């Protein structure tokens, strides 16, 4: 009996290794099995081939369905069939796959010969290119079978196209033949790399005594893994790019709430896949020391506060309270890679929330200024009762439980001139010390000054977090008020009634509610039940989950002197709410006239999109319009230069991957035009690229581009670029 694969090494005779390899083949084959059938049916449904050749179309669909069912039998019953006879399953499934490739070839040949290189034929050829590209990686371990499979599926179609004897047929036929040769070679290289990697693992297990050989094999394994991860990451990014591009074009205003939720879930899932790929690529770059940081100016306190706010709901849903304390002397603006900083903080806070043994997590941040223009940001994330010990706590030990996420964070911190230490102490809990070097741009301290109308007002703070109660009281005192801290409901009521009887009542009560009960609501009810203190203004600090409870909503409707602020409290929000309650001023109403004036005076941002790929034009234009921009599209660099010379734009998105360095020449001409016209305004130009821009960063900066954004473009990334450059424009 003919066999598609004959084991020739110990690794290939190892049942566990071969089962893992075959399981991977079955897993990825299942994904494309139904898709092939659907693509062909959709082509027939939306094209005219079925109308012209109805009987032929029925035969082709029926044959494809039968082949799909045969392959499905082997794929969806993999566990049962493989356990009985692995080699027989492999051989029979490969034979069924060759039948599938043969019938797919029949479909391509029929469409090509009947319709020529147009309509459904082009769609099916394009899909075949994408399909065989993915299949080459899936079947790569069995390169002899892969070569036969590709030949059956591609060569007949290529020969048919050549026999058309026209320009399109000759071109597409030649391209398909070249594509077959390329994929066959790629399959051979990937196959060798795959089995070599497994051989390396096998050798390490068998030769534990050869320490020097083990070291060399491990190094070879790392290099091979890095190359494999980078290549795989690029392929996955390209595939997910198509998914995200399609999702972004869907108009969610016409969808039901359920469909919007499904669309949002799909977008988030695709985004997580991109993040995963980016993490893998980051890991590879860190290990090979090729990571390039994207350093920009940013408001340090605002970034840290937003980071805490973004994780508040997740923490509360896990029953964990977030507390924070940021050094009031922290510089206002710094320069560094804010995206990498957020990535580090988010990963480590997620790790802490999952591993936390108590019901709160404390985040502390300060900047140690080493020179006039440089300093080191230190962020401490702790689940300890009190963060009393430093990084060199003698009773703590370094944690050895480091996953890939934490390993990436450590590598990123080292690239940013810092370090990360995970310290475990059985008495004080777990603490993570994050140190990152930053360039200090502005030393000004952002602090809300004294409000004239708040002078003399008195505030009572009930049960504030012990960790930052003094800092919160100092902040309120800086507004011109006087703050008093008490603990517990009895002390609060006693202090309020005592001051009311002494004719020196408190003007405001700030009540902190514990996460696991509604003690703040109980205290508020008791205050409004006492006639002598019932009218005092109240601000209850609680989680968003607690504030949304029916009893809390009823309480707020019943007593207008009571309002809620979300924990953890941010200074700006507390300042605004305090003024609103004490002075009976609605901050939102105060801002409305100014917002209306600003709306009338605002000019819609004008963005010129220079892109020669039609799908990318539609996707990026849709995102820009959703962000409130006017969009004009130029199909090449020359057209872009002509438009810029005639019209005014606030930003240019320039496709960096246009042929013959069109983007670089166009950028240079725009900069030359600005110089010759003595323009006082610098037009920001942002490169859009699917390539690794770090490799040619000097080239695009020298040409006059200001920034870059990677494909596939994510909505949040595009919004961040607009905020960065339109504010400066």
Cβ-based neighbour number of residue 427 at 10 Å: 10
Pinpoint the alpha helices (H) of 514-586: 519-529, 544-547, 550-558, 571-583
689 vs 727, which has greater pLDDT?
Answer: 689
pLDDT score of 245 more than 70:
no
Segment 375-425, tens digit of pLDDT: 899 999 987 655 444 555 656 666 655 567 788 888 889 989 899 988 877
Sequence-distant (6+) residues with CB within 8 A of 635 are 610, 611, 612
Helix, strand, or coil here: 77? coil
246 vs 336, which has greater pLDDT?
Answer: 336
- How does residue 448 score in pLDDT terms, banded at 50, 70 and 90? low
State the helix-helix crossing angle for 404-415 and 257-287, rounded to 10 degrees: 60
Q: Where are the domains of the chain?
A: 10-206, 214-285, 296-388+396-442, 452-596, 606-726
Most confident of 214-218, 384-388, 393-397, 676-680: 676-680
**Phi, psi values for residue 513, rounded to 5°:** -100, 135
Segment 457-494, tens digit of pLDDT: 889 999 888 777 888 888 888 888 888 999 888 899 99
pLDDT more than 90, % of the chain = 14
Tokens of 209: 């005594």
pLDDT score of 15 more than 80:
yes
Q: For residues 661 and 654, what is the distance between their CA atoms, to the nearest angstrom?
A: 11
In this predicted structure, which of 218-227, 508-517, 692-701 has the lowest mean pLDDT?
A: 692-701
Contact 621, 631 (CB under 8 A): yes
pLDDT score of 249 more than 50:
yes
Which H or E element spans position 172? helix 167-206
- How does residue 234 score in pLDDT terms, banded at 50, 70 and 90? low
**What pLDDT was estimated at residue 591?**
38
pLDDT score of 358 more than 70:
no
Helix, strand, or coil here: 686? strand
Segment 143-175, tens digit of pLDDT: 888 899 999 989 999 999 999 888 888 999 999
Contact 573, 565 (CB under 8 A): yes
Can 296-388+396-442 and 452-596 be said to share one CATH topology? Answer: no
Sequence-distant (6+) residues with CB within 8 A of 718 are 620, 623, 624, 627, 709
- How does residue 252 score in pLDDT terms, banded at 50, 70 and 90? low
Tokens of 382: 């702790």
Q: For residues 27 and 78, what is the distance between their CA atoms, to the nearest angstrom?
A: 9
What is the pLDDT averaged over residues 307-311? 84
pLDDT score of 262 more than 50:
yes
Segment 564-606, tens digit of pLDDT: 988 888 877 887 787 777 766 544 443 344 333 333 334 688 9
pLDDT more than 70, % of the chain = 85
Sequence-distant (6+) residues with CB within 8 A of 658 are 610, 612, 636, 637
**What pLDDT was estimated at residue 595?**
39
Which H or E element spans position 376? strand 374-382
Phi-psi group of 320: left, alpha or beta (phi > 0 → left; psi -120 to 50 → alpha; rest → beta): beta
**What pLDDT was estimated at residue 402?**
59
535 vs 660, which has greater pLDDT?
Answer: 535
Q: For residues 321 and 465, what is the distance between their CA atoms, to the nearest angstrom?
A: 10
Q: Mean pLDDT, the chain, as a whole number?
A: 81
What is the pLDDT averaged over residues 445-468? 74
Burial of 219 (0-12, 13-18, 19+ CB in 10 A): exposed
Q: For residues 710 and 135, what is the distance between their CA atoms, to the nearest angstrom?
A: 26
**What pLDDT was estimated at residue 132?**
87
pLDDT score of 106 more than 90:
yes
CA geometry: angle at 442 spanning 437 and 447, to 5°? 110
**What pLDDT was estimated at residue 2?**
62
pTM above 0.95, yes or no: no
Peptide bond into 568 cis (omega under 30): yes
Question: Which of the listed CATH numbers 3.90.1170.50, 3.30.70.420, 3.30.565.10, 1.10.3720.10 matches domain 296-388+396-442?
Answer: 3.30.565.10
CATH number for the domain formed by residue range(s) 606-726: 3.40.50.2300
Segment 180-210, tens digit of pLDDT: 999 898 888 888 888 888 888 877 777 766 6
Q: For residues 535 and 562, what is the distance between their CA atoms, to the nearest angstrom?
A: 9
Extract long-range pairs of 420-423: CB within 8 Å, 24+ residues apart.
420/344, 420/348, 421/391, 422/398, 423/391, 423/393, 423/396, 423/397, 423/398, 423/399
**What pLDDT was estimated at residue 588?**
44
Phi-psi group of 660: left, alpha or beta (phi > 0 → left; psi -120 to 50 → alpha; rest → beta): left
Contact 316, 277 (CB under 8 A): no
- How does residue 698 score in pLDDT terms, banded at 50, 70 and 90? low
Contact 690, 657 (CB under 8 A): yes
416 vs 287, which has greater pLDDT?
Answer: 416
Task: Identify the architecture of domain 452-596 in CATH.
Answer: 3-Layer(aba) Sandwich (3.40)
What is the pLDDT averaged over residues 49-76? 90
Q: For residues 171 and 161, what is the distance between their CA atoms, to the nearest angstrom?
A: 8
In this predicted structure, which of 115-129, 243-257, 304-318, 319-333 has the lowest mean pLDDT?
A: 243-257
In this predicted structure, which of 100-114, 257-271, 553-567, 655-669 has the lowest mean pLDDT?
A: 257-271
């Amino acid at each position: 009996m003919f066999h598609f694969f004959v084991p020739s090494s110990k690794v290939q005779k190892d049942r566990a290794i071969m089962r893992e390899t075959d399981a991977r083949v079955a897993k990825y084959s299942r994904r494309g099995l139904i898709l092939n059938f659907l693509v062909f049916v959709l082509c027939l449904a939306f094209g005219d081939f079925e109308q012209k050749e109805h009987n032929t179309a029925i035969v082709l669909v029926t044959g494809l369905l039968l082949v799909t069912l045969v392959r499905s039998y082997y794929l969806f019953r993999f566990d049962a069939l493989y356990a009985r006879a692995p080699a027989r399953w492999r051989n029979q499934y490969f034979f069924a796959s060759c039948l599938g490739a043969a019938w797919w070839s029949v479909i391509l040949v029929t469409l090509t010969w009947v319709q020529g290189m147009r309509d459904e034929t082009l769609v099916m050829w394009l899909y075949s290119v994408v399909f065989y590209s993915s299949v080459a990686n899936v079947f790569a371990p069995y390169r002899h079978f892969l070569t036969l499979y590709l030949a059956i599926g591609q060569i007949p179609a290529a020969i048919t196209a050549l026999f058309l004897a026209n320009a399109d047929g000759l071109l597409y036929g030649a391209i398909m033949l070249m594509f077959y040769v390329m994929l066959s070679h790629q399959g051979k290289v990937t196959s060798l790399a795959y089995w070599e990697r497994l051989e390396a693992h096998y050798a390490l297990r068998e030769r534990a005594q050869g320490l020097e050989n083990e070291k060399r094999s491990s190094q070879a394994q790392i290099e091979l893994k890095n190359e494999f991860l980078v290549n795989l990451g690029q392929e996955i990014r390209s595939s997910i790019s198509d998914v995200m591009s399609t999702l972004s074009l869907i108009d969610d205003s016409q969808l039901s709430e359920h469909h919007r939720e499904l669309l949002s879930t799909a977008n988030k899932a695709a985004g997580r896949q991109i993040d995963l790929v980016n993490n893998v690529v980051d890991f590879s770059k860190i290990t090979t020391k090729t990571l390039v940081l994207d350093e920009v100016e940013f408001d340090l306190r605002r970034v840290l506060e937003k980071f805490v706010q973004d994780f508040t709901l997740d923490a509360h849903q896990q029953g964990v309270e977030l507390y924070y304390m940021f050094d009031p002397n922290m510089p206002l603006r710094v320069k560094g890679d804010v995206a990498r900083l957020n990535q580090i903080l988010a990963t480590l806070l997620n790790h802490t929330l999952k591993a936390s043994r108590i019901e709160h997590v404390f985040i502390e941040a300060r900047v140690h200024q080493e020179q006039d223009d440089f300093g080191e940001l230190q962020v401490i994330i702790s689940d300890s009762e009190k963060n009393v010990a430093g990084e060199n706590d003698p009773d703590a030990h370094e944690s050895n439980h480091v996953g890939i996420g934490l390993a990436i964070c450590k590598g990123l911190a080292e690239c940013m001139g810092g370090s990360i230490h995970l310290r475990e102490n059985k008495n004080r809990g777990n603490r993570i010390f994050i140190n990152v070097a930053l360039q200090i741009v502005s030393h000004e301290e952002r602090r809300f000054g004294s409000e004239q109308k708040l002078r003399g007002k008195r505030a009572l703070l009930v049960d504030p977090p012990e960790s930052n109660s003094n800092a919160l009281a100092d902040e309120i005192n800086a507004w011109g008020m006087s703050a008093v801290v008490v603990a517990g409901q009895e002390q609060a009521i006693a202090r309020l009634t005592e001051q009311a009887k002494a004719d020196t009542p408190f003007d405001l009560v700030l009540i902190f509610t514990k996460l696991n009960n509604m003690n703040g609501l109980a205290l508020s009810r008791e205050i409004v039940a006492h006639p002598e203190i019932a009218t005092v203004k109240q601000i209850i600090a609680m989680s968003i989950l607690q504030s949304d409870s029916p009893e809390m909503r009823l309480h707020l409707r019943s007593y207008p002197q009571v309002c809620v602020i979300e924990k953890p409290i941010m200074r700006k929000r507390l300042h605004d709410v305090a003024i609103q309650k004490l002075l009976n001023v609605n901050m939102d109403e105060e801002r409305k006239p100014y917002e209306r004036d600003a709306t009338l005076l605002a000019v819609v941002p004008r963005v010129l999109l220079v892109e020669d790929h039609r799908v990318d034009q539609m996707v990026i234009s849709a995102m820009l319009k959703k962000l409130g921009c006017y969009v004009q599209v130029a199909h090449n660099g020359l057209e872009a230069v002509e438009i810029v010379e005639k019209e005014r734009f606030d930003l240019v998105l320039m496709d960096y991957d246009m042929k013959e360095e069109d983007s670089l020449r166009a950028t240079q001409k725009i900069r030359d035009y600005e110089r010759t016209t003595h323009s006082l305004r610098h037009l920001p130009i942002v490169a859009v690229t699917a390539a690794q821009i770090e490799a040619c960063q000097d080239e695009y900066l020298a040409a006059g581009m200001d920034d870059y954004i990677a494909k596939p473009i994510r909505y949040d990334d595009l919004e961040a670029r607009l905020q960065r450059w339109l504010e400066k424009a």
